[in-house]
Structure 1
Amino acid sequence: MSRTGRHWLSVAALSIIAFLAQGVTLFSLGLVMPAMARDFGGHAGWAGTALLTAMSLASLPVGWALTRMDARWIVAAGVLLSAAGWAGAAASHYRLALLCAMAIAGVGVAAATIVPGIAIITRDMAARRGTALAIFLGATIVAGAALPPASAWAIDLWGWRGAMARGAGLMLALGLPLVLLVTRGPAGVTEGSVRPSRVALAQRDFLLVAGAMTLLQLAINGILFASVDALMHQGLGQGRAVAAYSLANLVGLPALLMAGLVTDRVGARQAMVAISLMLAAGSAALASAGPMGLAGLAAFVLLWGVASALPGQAGSMLLADVVGPAAFPRMLGVVTASIALIGALAPVLTDALRGADGGYTLAILVYAALAVLAAPLVAMVRHRGSD
């Protein structure tokens, strides 16, 4: 097989691994936590926060390790930890044990998916990076659409413990063999004369981009993990609520595939401003899904579904414009860790913002406001590469 063919095969393997690891864990949290809460005092937001916090913190050592170790081994370790943590959570009967297991799963997801995937693809696919990233990130969009209904079905059939145990087995049985198709070698900058720029951490543009991406991630996570329950609280049945959530994730796939072309034309900065405002409108539409009926539900599905898929792609491009190619791999790890760490607060924040009747209106409006605040931060970026 040609070198190009091997690289595309690696992209496919990384995409399927991300589909499995994020679909079984991250995108199923919104269904697992409500079922889990019945066995752990009525609230399980802290379990989701443990997973998300571990994911964020692990991005830092993962980004560092990618410049020094064979990336294939890092992805393999991630698959193993994801499966082990998810299986451990299924077997947990005490809060501390569940928290630790969810944290292990979070470390695994970080090591198996976004940071190594983007770094490996950037290394291998310089000439076709946009297309390859669209395929890779698109796999996570498909996971967000396909895995929640499967998780709901599995929870109904086997309970949340049985569903998580079988999800762990699926990640292990399918994900681990795919690691053999991932291209070998470190994925980051390895030349001794090139170091990640410490100045980049203090650059005005870098801080603006990191701040905007953090706000957007918190806004996305807040809606991501609460949308099904919020729709059910407004009167939708579980089947319709899960279908709407899955469709919202699914519409992001064609948007992601087209976004590369649009961003190349208008620039990453302008695209990120539009994405921020669209995300705010789509988030606010979730609060009106009950009163406005089908129109409100359609607005949420289309606006939030499209906008929530794009910050990872356009934001990475804007970050690369700001910090430059030499510093990009490790700065990607830094930003991924910081935005994920703040984003991990979403489940607990949502619990705190819920009304006395259990409603989600205040939480939804807060997340919409955070997305609005991201737009002026992006607009202030003046790095020449963003234009």
Structure 2
Amino acid sequence: MKNKSAVFILVSSIIINILVKGSLKSLGIFLLELKNQGIETSEAAWIPAIAFTCFSLFSSPVAWCREKTSSRLLSVLGGLMVSVGFLISYLLYLPILYTGLGVLLGVGGCMATISGSLEINRVFQGSRLGTAHGLSLAGSTAGGLLVPVLVAYLIFTWGYRGAVLLQAAILLHTIPASLFYR
């Protein structure tokens, strides 16, 4: 039974990495569309800077919080934050974009993905640990290849506002994936 749960945890981590890190890597496509919406490129360029900075800065505090709570709770909260970040980005107001696509995507993404890495550390040992982390991080690469294409298609089909609403809905799929964590 432990092997089955370990596989579910690994697959969940891969799915979350595809969705969250793929969304982080697709911010450039959203920046192009924000330019078309009348937002200056020099102002919009702060959005990915804020997101990646928050993602990096909060990795240690998230690991500390994981010791006090559970990976499941942190990942569910992170998934909600990421989804709400895209949801509020429907409003094309720069401070909201900084908050939604910057802070919420960065902090929530960190909470969701770091929790998965810590869960992998908990359930895998020995040589399987490295393989599990490699597969989990392959999800990040797959997300970086697939999600920007999806985002470009959503923007082309639905426009900016439709794309961020649909991306918010897609990112809600991190929540059921998180439920396999402890």
- TM > 0.5: yes
Aligned residue in 2 for 1:133? 133
Cα displacement string for residues 323-382 of structure 1 (whole angstroms, at most 9, x for unaligned residues): xxxxxxxxxxxxxxxxxxxxxxxxxxxxxxxxxxxxxxxxxxxxxxxxxxxxxxxxxxxx
Query: Quick check: 2:24–2:105 contact (8 Å CA) kept in 1?
Result: no
Distance of 2:161 and 2:56 partners within structure 1: 25
Aligned residue in 1 for 2:87? 87
- Please list, as runs of the form range in 1=range in 2, the aligned pairs for 1:159-308 lying within 5 A after superposition: 159-172=159-172, 174-182=173-181, 184=182
Which blocks of at least 5 consecutive residues in structure 1 are unaligned? 185-387
Aligned residue in 1 for 2:25? 27
Aligned residue in 2 for 1:233? none
Q: In the comparison of the two structures, how many residue pairs are matched?
A: 178
Aligned residue in 1 for 2:17? 18
Aligned residue in 1 for 2:97? 98
Distance of 1:52 and 1:92 partners within structure 2: 21
Percent of residue pairs identical = 28
Post-superposition offset of 1:93: 2.4
Name whichever structure is richer in helix by fraction: 2
Aligned residue in 1 for 2:116? 117
Post-superposition offset of 1:163: 1.0
Aligned residue in 2 for 1:383? none
Aligned residue in 2 for 1:366? none
Aligned residue in 2 for 1:154? 154
User: Greater relative contact order: 1 or 2 (C-alpha under 8 angstroms, separation 6 or more)?
Assistant: 2
SS of the aligned residue for 2:67 comes to coil
Post-superposition offset of 1:50: 1.8
Post-superposition offset of 1:7: 1.1
Q: Considering only aligned residues, what root-mean-square deviation do their CA atoms show, in Å? A: 1.4
Letter of the 1:9 counterpart = F
Cα displacement string for residues 13-64 of structure 1 (whole angstroms, at most 9, x for unaligned residues): 11111111221x2121121111112321243211111212222222232011
Query: Quick check: 2:16–2:177 contact (8 Å CA) kept in 1?
Result: yes
Distance of 2:41 and 2:75 partners within structure 1: 35
Distance of 1:67 and 1:178 partners within structure 2: 20
Post-superposition offset of 1:137: 0.5
SS of the aligned residue for 1:181 comes to coil
Which blocks of at least 5 consecutive residues in structure 2 are unaligned? none
Distance of 2:5 and 2:168 partners within structure 1: 28
Post-superposition offset of 1:180: 1.6
SS of the aligned residue for 2:179 comes to helix
Letter of the 1:35 counterpart = E
Distance of 2:48 and 2:16 partners within structure 1: 21
Letter of the 2:171 counterpart = M
Query: Quick check: 2:31–2:41 contact (8 Å CA) kept in 1?
Result: no
Distance of 1:94 and 1:111 partners within structure 2: 25
Letter of the 1:136 counterpart = S
Letter of the 1:141 counterpart = T
Post-superposition offset of 1:72: 0.8
Post-superposition offset of 1:82: 0.6
Distance of 1:71 and 1:42 partners within structure 2: 37
Choose 1 or 2 for highest CA Rg.
1
Distance of 1:42 and 1:10 partners within structure 2: 39
SS of the aligned residue for 1:67 comes to helix
TM-score when normalising by structure 2: 0.91
Post-superposition offset of 1:66: 1.3
Runs of at least 4 residues of structure 1 off by over 6 A?
Answer: none
Letter of the 2:75 counterpart = V
- Please list, as runs of the form range in 1=range in 2, the aligned pairs for 1:39-78 lying within 5 A after superposition: 39-43=38-42, 44-78=44-78
Distance of 2:47 and 2:136 partners within structure 1: 27
Post-superposition offset of 1:73: 0.5
